[in-house]
Structure 1
Amino acid sequence: MAEEELEIEEGGKKKSKLMLIIIIVVVLLGGGGGAYFFLFMGEEPAAAEGEGAAEETSIEADAPPEGKALYVAMPRPFTFNAPGVARERIVQIEVQLMVRGVQSEEMAKRHIPMIEGTLLQVFSASNADDLVTDVGKVELKERATKQVRQVMKELEGSSIVEQVLFTGFVIQ
């Protein structure tokens, strides 16, 4: 009988230690979360808003119209020869244009021949050795986006195309 009482007391001590540990962990997590909130969610956005206001207006002036993102697929993939140091390679790129809003989509569809010509000009000026690397592909995409936006700005008065996206890229 004395042994039973001893076992009951030991079990009670284990439960109280476990409960104490759980309470300490919850308090520490709550304190850490509160500290994070106060340190990183302070007045920073208000300060950044005053400093970057001039930059935002210049970016917004060149940005395409806001709205739902829509994608305009080019009717056929671009196939071209790309010269390289060791050898010439054949490249095939499938392209889609990301635009915002139905009006921008219609304007982009209306000017597909001009966009295709611009993209082919940018693509054919590339080097096969650069296109093999990821950095070269990203640079080509950025150049294509810049040129298409410039052409659309000349034609429609605003850069309708937000991004040129490569949906297929094959190099042989």
Structure 2
Amino acid sequence: MAKTQTDGKRRKPWWLLGLLIILISVACSAGVYFLLESRGSEAGAESAQAAEPVEPEIPIFVTVKPFTVNIQSDDYSQRLLYIGLSIKVADEASKDLLESHMPQVRSRLLMLLSSQNADDLVTPEGKQQLTGEILALFDKPFSDPQPPLNVDDVLYTDFIVQ
């Protein structure tokens, strides 16, 4: 009988030790969870305060109605370009100036586009070069005392080479 009592005493500490290890593991896991949760909510609150919504600047566009122009070709055949543009400007004064001088704008565009080669215009590089040439058109003033004209970009809304 003495043997059975000592065997019973040996098993109790192992059972209690296993239960103690499980309880410590659960407590550590809970502590880490709450620690990370509190840090995450503080960082989220700080980033929400720091990243105030920035309103994007509303772009201003001047639309040039689409028109058709004869363009040059290497094989001397009739080639046409149907093009529509939107001109991005920096301010309302530039928009008003372009709208009031739209016949001059269209005339300058017509003269520039009629000198273009059809084979060059079908490539992306040709379109980029044409954009630069169109932007250069606005360097020359439309009237003698002209306020500054701030043209940012030229966007193609229609572009067909036939």
What range describes the TM-score normalised by the shorter chain of this pair?
Answer: 0.5 to 0.7
Instruction: Tell me whether 1:121 sits opposite 2:124 in the alignment.
Output: no
Instruction: Tell me whether 1:144 sits opposite 2:134 in the alignment.
Output: yes
Cross-structure match for 2:66: 77
Q: Report the residue type matching 2:116 in the other structure.
A: S
The match for 1:104 among 94, 107, 115 is 94
> CA separation of 1:153/1:164 partners in 2, compared to 1, >3 Å: closer, same or farther?
farther
Cross-structure match for 1:33: none
More helix by share: 1
> CA separation of 1:73/1:142 partners in 2, compared to 1, >3 Å: closer, same or farther?
same
Which consecutive residues of structure 1, in runs of 5 or more, have no partner in the other structure? 13-66
Cross-structure match for 2:122: 132
TM-score normalised by L of structure 1: 0.55
Q: Report the residue type matching 1:108 in the other structure.
A: L
Cross-structure match for 1:90: 80
> CA separation of 1:148/1:68 partners in 2, compared to 1, >3 Å: closer, same or farther?
same
Residue 69 of structure 1: CA displacement? 2.7
Q: How many residues align?
A: 113
% identical equivalent positions: 28
Q: Report the residue type matching 1:78 in the other structure.
A: F
Q: Report the residue type matching 2:78 in the other structure.
A: E
Which consecutive residues of structure 2, in runs of 5 or more, have no partner in the other structure? 1-14, 23-56
Distance 2:97 2:78 in 1: 36
Distance 2:122 2:152 in 1: 25
Structure with greater Cα Rg: 2
Q: Is the contact between residue 68 and residue 100 of structure 1 (CA under 8 Å) also seen in structure 2? A: no
Residue 164 of structure 1: CA displacement? 2.1
SS in 1 for 2:89: strand
TM-score normalised by L of structure 2: 0.58
Give the aligned CA root-mean-square deviation in angstroms: 2.9
